[in-house]
Amino acid sequence: MDTTTARAFSSRLADLLSREQAAMADFLAALADFDQRRLWEPLGYTSLWLYLHRELGLSKGTAHFRVVAAGLVARFPEVEAALRDGRLCITSVVELAKVLTVENQAEVLPRFFHRSKQEAQAVVAELRPREVVPRREVMTAIPVRPVELAIPLPPTADEAHASSTSTPTPTPRPAIEPLTADLRRLHVTVSRRFLEKLEAAKDALSHARPGAEAEAILEAGLDLILAQQAKRRAQVKRPRKVESPVEAPASVPAEVRRAVWTRDGGRCQWPMDSGEICGSTHRLELDHVHPKARGGPATEENLRILCEPHNKLAAWLAYGERWMGRYLKVRGLAQDAGSVRWPGS
Ligand SMILES: [Zn+2]
């Protein structure tokens, strides 16, 4: 594989990314200065947010993020530094702003480093748990045209007149809402059929777990799925039959399959360029390191676990492009592989 080209590309991307982060930090520092001097006023705007939206053409949500971030940058130089080197993400700054104070910044700020918006919400919930968390089981009918009602709207221009820093968050409600360190509220839309099954399961468990709530019923169901899966994994299913004339289904003895599974920890062993392994647990197959078609034995030493894409790649490398190219074309995958030339092909 052409690792040199990939490495060169990757370092160019890393360079562009760090320039983007630096530009964002520069922009926010300048914006904070602009706001402190209220320079949007002589331009005819009533707030920084309105200036960003109308004059610079940012969307309402993006303008809101910038206003909040500029406010933080003005008060906390550490925030600017963290945005500049990429430790802090602009989308989690709105969450950070809810809890950051001069007193707690040394402890609180690092907890938001490398967090997504949703992870940042979880940190906020942990730092500032809602005082009383109601355990709710609510069933609501879905309105015929739900979209306009379900999502809180971004501030209107009039609302933004009021203040440049207290505009409401314009993002839609997430499906998982952190409440405390441990509790989350999950919003799921289900069918009537689902509710009937839930009721039936509740009835079935009415002796073992009288009065169980929906969470307990669903968790019991999930436990069943996971137990079943663990049992199946322990037996290690025969590898998925690869639809090719060469890699016919291997007749690997059960004890060898179990030994390989245990040794590889049930994870794809493909070596990545970084020196780590792929580690995927999805669609796993048994792979002959020395190909079976070339006399590779079905022994513990010659077998390893690979995920399906890496097993395909291994076959590609082993059997060459001509054969696999025909095979992939049949599977409609040739586009992915079209321009790639593996060595030895
Ligand atoms: Zn893999």
What is the pLDDT at residue 193?
A: 86
Contact 72, 93 (CB under 8 A): yes
What is the pLDDT at residue 22?
A: 95
Residue 221, number of CB atoms within 10 A of its CB? 14
C-alpha 35 to ligand 1 mean position (Å):
50
C-alpha 65 to ligand 1 mean position (Å):
37
User: Which residues is 169 bridged to in the sheet?
Assistant: none
- The DSSP H or E segment spanning 5 is helix 3-36
What is the pLDDT at residue 280?
A: 87
* CA angle 336–337–343, rounded 5-degree value: 155
C-alpha 124 to ligand 1 mean position (Å):
35
Task: Kindly give the parts of the chain with pLDDT less than 70.
Answer: 1, 130-136, 142-174, 235-250, 320-345
What is the pLDDT at residue 224?
A: 87
C-alpha 289 to ligand 1 mean position (Å):
14
C-alpha 224 to ligand 1 mean position (Å):
27
Query: DSSP H helical segments within the chain, as ranges?
Result: 3-36, 48-50, 60-75, 77-84, 90-99, 105-108, 117-127, 147-150, 157-162, 192-204, 214-235, 254-263, 308-319, 321-330, 334-337
What is the pLDDT at residue 172?
A: 52
What is the pLDDT at residue 2?
A: 81
What is the pLDDT at residue 320?
A: 66
User: What is the greatest pairwise CA distance in the chain?
Assistant: 81
C-alpha 272 to ligand 1 mean position (Å):
9
CA distance 306 to 208: 42
What is the pLDDT at residue 187?
A: 80
In which residue are the tokens 């059929």 written? 193
What is the pLDDT at residue 321?
A: 58
Residue 46 burial class via C-beta count within 10 angstroms: exposed 0-12, middle 13-18, buried 19 and up: middle
Q: If you compute the radius of gyration of the chain from its CA atoms, what whole number of angstroms results? A: 28
Long-range contacts of 104-108 (CB under 8 A, 24+ apart): 105/76, 105/78
What is the pLDDT at residue 255?
A: 86
C-alpha 246 to ligand 1 mean position (Å):
21
Q: Give Cα 240 to chain centroid, integer Å.
A: 27
What is the pLDDT at residue 238?
A: 52
C-alpha 311 to ligand 1 mean position (Å):
8
What is the pLDDT at residue 29?
A: 96
State the helix-helix crossing angle for 60-75 and 77-84, rounded to 10 degrees.
Answer: 120
C-alpha 306 to ligand 1 mean position (Å):
5
C-alpha 287 to ligand 1 mean position (Å):
11
C-alpha 310 to ligand 1 mean position (Å):
5
C-alpha 304 to ligand 1 mean position (Å):
11
Phi-psi region of 284 (alpha: psi -120 to 50; beta: other; left: phi over 0): beta
C-alpha 317 to ligand 1 mean position (Å):
15
